[in-house]
Amino acid sequence: MIDKLVKIKQNFPNHAIDDVLLYLQDLLKNSKLNILPGSKIAIAVGSRGINNLPLIVKTLGEWLVDLGAHPFVVPAMGSHGGATALGQVEILNSLGIDEKAMGMPICSSMKVVELEQEGTEFKAYMDEQAYLSDGVILINRIKPHTDFKSDFESGLVKMATIGLGNHKQAQAIHRLGVEGLKNVMPQIAKIVFDSEKIIMGVGIVEDGNDETAVIKCLPTSKIFIEEPLLLKKAKDYMPSLPTDEIDILIVDQIGKNISGTGLDPNIIGRIKILGELEPKRPKIKIIIVDDVTAESHGNAIGIGLADIITKKLYDKINYQAMYENVLTSTFIERAKVPLVANDLNEAFKIAKSVCGLVEESKLRVVRINNTLDLSEVEVSKSILESMSN
């Protein structure tokens, strides 16, 4: 039946910026950021597969050079890359961020500096290379988080803390569970911002077609004000599956460059965090995952949200990277290995048997490339017919 699925195009509203390069150059020209000649400026880049990320990083670096500064890239991705300096450089390289292409060095280290603080019991840390610079510029996409709902989810506040604080900060916040993410993370961010090391945040929002829709160059004083507004816009633009009632969902690839959880819970309707309510929709009986992206370097976190995976995916799992990530987050359900099928066809046969006495012609099946790109999907005849009624 897999080969009989019909490809359809979902028409999400187009909010794409026509020319990202010219748009960003104009924003930077009018940013009024005071950069002194000779300044060493750290550009903090994370592990997400953000559209136009290499272009944005390179343009920012070139702008800083024109101002007489000496920019360099620092990984800001918490425990990703197996919580090693080399592993994080490899992730950046796989995203198109390498020294030759960017025209500036990448300085990767897991060392951190503890920041001075008052009025909170929680310690704040910053990557040592970033702290020793003359200023840090954050670059991150703002979007709904995969674990919790708040005014600050996945964005600049999270990057300033869990990302830029390396493994030590990520571990300290995540060990507090969802409470740490919702309430402690903004407190830590305030300490980071009060250190005056962060000089600007570049916030990005993508539309439902995975295109760059919004870029904002925010001075540090505006991040707490503007990020919730950008998050609301990101939620409005977020894509979705073509139906909420699905018997079998086939996902070709999961990956850290696609979602922090490999499979985005906002799309599949599964969270699997103790104490957190599961979303009411979509309702999916069985989820099959076939592969993990090369950019993930074997970190297959998110397989625990699936029901069946293929041996192809199973053989690519880097348990050290995946376990380091999931133990830092504390949400261990997401790294549990589900049933392993020899191939996609066997996985589908197993899924059909689990769905019960549903005639094959009436099975509601959806196949997607990943949970980020939903503009083109494949559906079974039964779904196609229900959509046309």
Q: 214 and 96 share a domain?
A: yes
CA distance 246 to 379: 10
Q: Is residue 89 one of the residues assigned to a domain?
A: yes
Query: β-pairing, 40-45 with 135-141?
Result: parallel
The whole domain housing 206 covers: 20-237
Q: 258 and 229 share a domain?
A: no
- Final residue in a domain of this structure, among 237, 267, 297: 237
Segment holding 232, helix H or strand E: helix 220-237
Q: 132 and 162 share a domain?
A: yes
Q: 336 and 354 share a domain?
A: yes
Phi, psi of 128 (to 5 degrees): -60, -45
Q: 203 and 111 share a domain?
A: yes
What is the domain count for the chain? 2
Q: 185 and 123 share a domain?
A: yes
DSSP-assigned letters across all residues of 330-347: --GGGG---EEESSHHHH
Question: Based on the number of CB atoms within 10 Å of its own CB, is 304 exposed (0-12), middle (13-18) or buried (19 or more)?
Answer: buried
Q: 46 and 35 share a domain?
A: yes
- Final residue in a domain of this structure, among 237, 256, 283: 237
Q: 95 and 137 share a domain?
A: yes
Q: 214 and 342 share a domain?
A: no
Residue 244, number of CB atoms within 10 A of its CB: 12
R_g of the chain, CA atoms, integer Å: 21
Answer whether 217's CB lies under 8 Å from 59's CB. Answer: no
Count of positions (residues) in the chain: 389
Q: 216 and 143 share a domain?
A: yes
Query: What is the per-residue pLDDT for 285?
Result: 96
User: What is the helix, strand, coil percentage profile of the chain, to 5?
Assistant: 40, 20, 40
Segment holding 167, helix H or strand E: helix 166-174
CA distance 289 to 52: 27
CATH number for the domain harbouring residue 30: 3.40.50.11440
Q: 93 and 198 share a domain?
A: yes
Q: Among residues 122, 159, 111, 153, which one has the least CA distance to residue 137?
A: 159
Which amino acid is located at 229 in the chain?
A: L
Q: Among residues 176, 130, 138, 175, which one has the least CA distance to residue 158?
A: 138
Q: 30 and 129 share a domain?
A: yes
Query: What is the per-residue pLDDT for 269?
Result: 93
Query: What is the per-residue pLDDT for 119?
Result: 65
CA distance 183 to 121: 13
Query: What is the per-residue pLDDT for 254?
Result: 97
Query: What is the per-residue pLDDT for 389?
Result: 65
Q: Is residue 10 one of the residues assigned to a domain?
A: no
CA distance 76 to 81: 11
Q: Which residue has the tokens 């509601």?
A: 364
Q: Is residue 232 one of the residues assigned to a domain?
A: yes
CA distance 378 to 365: 8
Whole-prediction pTM = 0.84
Q: Is residue 111 one of the residues assigned to a domain?
A: yes
- Final residue in a domain of this structure, among 220, 237, 254: 237
CA distance 34 to 83: 34
Could you read off the pLDDT tens digit of each residue along the chain, which spans 389 residues? 788 899 999 999 999 999 999 999 999 999 888 899 999 999 999 988 899 999 999 999 999 999 999 999 999 999 888 889 999 999 999 999 999 999 999 999 999 999 987 767 889 999 999 999 999 999 999 999 888 888 999 999 999 999 999 999 999 998 888 888 889 999 999 999 999 999 999 999 999 999 999 999 999 999 999 999 999 999 999 999 999 999 999 999 999 889 888 999 999 999 888 777 888 899 999 999 999 999 899 999 999 999 999 999 999 999 999 998 888 888 899 999 999 999 999 999 999 999 887 788 889 999 999 999 999 999 999 999 888 76
Q: Measured at the alpha carbon of residue 181, what is the angle toward residues 273 and 210, in degrees to the nearest 5?
A: 80
